[in-house]
A and B are shown apart, each in its own frame.
Chain A
Amino acid sequence: MTMRFLVLVKASEALPDMGTYNEQLARAGVLLDQGTTACYWLIQARSKDEAIEWAKRVPFEDGEIEIHRLLEIE
C-alpha cells in the first residue's frame, strides 16, 4: 500500500533550488503538499526506501533532513 511521508528540512539558509525540486516531485506525481514558508514536503511513496531516495535529492548544502511516515489513525 502506498504510504505518506513528511520530508522536513532544517537548514540554516534558504534552499536555492526549491523550485526545481518541487517540480521534480510534481512531475513524478508523488507531491501531495509542500510548505510555503516552512521547508517540508508531503509525498506519497510505496516504501520507506522510496521516500529516503526522494529525501536524498533535496538540494541543500548544510542542515538536517527528517523523514516521518504518517500513520493513519483508525
Chain B
Amino acid sequence: MTLSDTHRAIDAVWRIESPRLIAGLTRIVRDVGVAEELAQDALVAALEKWPESGVPENPGAWLMATAKHRAIDIVRRNVMLERKHADLGREMETQREMDIEAEIDDHIGDDLLRLVFIACHPVLATESRVALTLRLLGGLTTDEIARAFLAPEATVAQRIVRGKRTLSEANVPFEVPRGADFEGRLSSVLEVIYLIFNEGYSATAGDDLLRPALCEEALRLGRILGELVPNEPEVHGLIALMEIQASRLKARVGPSGEAVPLFDQDRARWDRVLVRRGLVALERAEKLGSALGPYGLQAAIAACHARARTSDETDWQQIAALYDALAQLMPSPVIELNRAVAVAMAFGPAAGLEIVDELRSEPTLQNYHLLPAVRGDFLMKLGRLEEARAEFERAASLTRNSRERNLLLERARSASEGGKNAGR
C-alpha cells in the first residue's frame, strides 16, 4: 500500500466510523464539539500510525480506543474540578469511569439517535442543523458541505461553530426526547433530512456533482434513522418519498439540461432499485400507522406514478383521493392546486376548474405562475379558448424561467388560433 492508498483507506474508514465515534464520545464528554475534536485527534493519530503499521483489523475499535483514553482524561479532570467545588467523594469518580466503559459499547445505537436529535435541535438555526447533520452524521467535510450548498466555506464553518456553541451554551442534554416532546423533535429531524434532499434535487446540470449527491446523502440519513426508530410510520414515509423521487433523478433532466415533466419522462430511465425500495418503505409506513402522515401521503402519491408503466395507466382517482387527505392534514394552496390537477385528470376539467376558481382569491398564489397555467389548461380543454389564452399569457408574464415562458406563450397562441395544437 502506498501512502496515498492508506490515506484514502483512512478517509473511507472515517466516513463509515465517524458518526458512531462522535456519538460514543459525546456520551462520555457530554459536548458534541469536544467529542468531534477528540474524534478528529484520533483520526490524526491514525494518519500518523497506519501508513507504517497498516490499517488495523478493526479500524473503528482502534479509533474509539484511542479517542476514549483522552475522553476519559478530560472527564477525570472535570470531575476533579467539580470535586474541588462540590467536595465529591472519590468513589463517584471511579464509578463514573466504569459506567462509561460499560455504557459506551452497549448503547451505540442509542447514542447515534441522540446525536441525530442533538444535531437537529430546535435551539439551532435551520442552516446550522443542516450543516451539523451533514458533518456529524454524514461524515462530510466543511468544504464538501460548502460546495454542495453553493456557499463559501467560511460561512459553513461558522454555521458549524455557532451551532456547537449554541448547543453547549444552552446545555442541550444528550438524550432521546420522551413523551409528548418526541413527535415534535422527530419532525424537526425529518424536516432537516428532507431539506437536504431537496437541496440536491433542485440542483441543475451545471452544478457541482456534490449537489445531486445530497439526495443520496439524505437517503442514507433517512435509512439510518429508519433503522434507529423502526416503528415510526412517518420516518418510513419520508424514506419512501425520497427513494421514489430519487428514482427519477436521471429521467427528469433532458439532454440539454432542461427539466422534463413527470408525464413526459422516459419511464425506462427510472431507477428500479430505488422504486422498489420506495414501495417497500411505503408498505412499511402503511403497516405501522392507522393513517398515513404528510410524508407518507406524498410518498403514496409518488408511488401511484411509480406503479404506472405509462402515464396513461396512472390511477388519478387514487391520486385525487390522496391529495384530498393531504389537504386535510396540512391545508395549503399549493397542495390544493395539485389536487385540482389530479381531480381534473380523474373526473374531467370542469371538476378541476371548480377547485382552481376558489384559489383565485388566495393571496399567496397571486404571483404564482402555475395557477393561471393550470386554469388555462382546464379552460382550453373545456373549449373556452379566449379565457384560456388570457390565462396562458398571464402565466407567461409571471414565470422567470425563459423556457417555460416560451412554452406558455406558445400555448396562448394555439388557444387564440382555435385550439389547434392544443398541447398535451
Contacts and interface: CB of A to CB of B under 8 A. Distances in A.
Partners in one complex: yes
Interface of A: 1-2, 26-33, 42, 44, 46-47, 49-50, 52-54, 72
Given A49-B12, A52-B12, A53-B16, 15 more contacts: A1-B212, A2-B217, A26-B223, A28-B16, A28-B220, A28-B224, A29-B220, A31-B223, A47-B11, A47-B12, A49-B9, A50-B16, A52-B9, A53-B13, A72-B250
Given A28-B16, A33-B273, A46 B213 contact: yes
A30 B220 contact: yes
B8 A54 contact: no
10 contacts: A1-B216, A26-B223, A27-B109, A28-B220, A29-B221, A32-B273, A33-B273, A47-B12, A49-B12, A50-B16
Contacts of A46: 15, 213
A53 B228 CA distance: 23
Interface residues of B, number: 26
B70 interface: no
Nearest to A47: B12
The dominant DSSP class at the B interface is: helix
Contacts of B277: 32
Contacts of A72: 250
A29 B222 contact: yes
B209 interface: yes
**Most chain A CB neighbours (cut-off 10 Å) among B13, B216, B217:** B216
A1 B16 contact: no
Contacts of A27: 109, 224, 227-228
Contact of A50 (B12, B221, B223, B250): B12
B21 interface: no
A1 B250 CA distance: 13
B15 A50 contact: yes
Contacts of B136: none
Interface string B8-25: 110111011000000000
B306 interface: no
B343 interface: no
B219 interface: yes
Contacts of A47: 8, 11-12
Contacts of A26: 223, 227
Contacts of B216: 1-2, 44
B89 to A, nearest CB: 39
A72 B212 CA distance: 15
A29 B164 CA distance: 25
Nearest to B227: A27
A26 B405 CA distance: 45
Given A1-B209, A1-B213, A72-B250, A49 B222 contact: no
**Most chain A CB neighbours (cut-off 10 Å) among B15, B228, B250:** B15
A41 B278 CA distance: 18
A15 to B, nearest CB: 18
A46 to B, nearest CB: 7
B219 A29 contact: yes
A13 B112 CA distance: 34
Contact of A42 (B13, B109, B273): B273
A42 B277 CA distance: 12
A67 to B, nearest CB: 12
A49 B8 contact: yes
Contacts of A50: 12, 15-16
Interface string B60-94: 00000000000000000000000000000000000
A53 B109 CA distance: 21
Nearest to B269: A74
A2 B213 contact: yes
Interchain residue pairs A-B with the least CB separation, the first 10: A29-B220, A29-B223, A2-B216, A49-B12, A53-B12, A29-B224, A50-B12, A49-B8, A1-B209, A27-B227
Contacts of B217: 2
A47 to B, nearest CB: 6
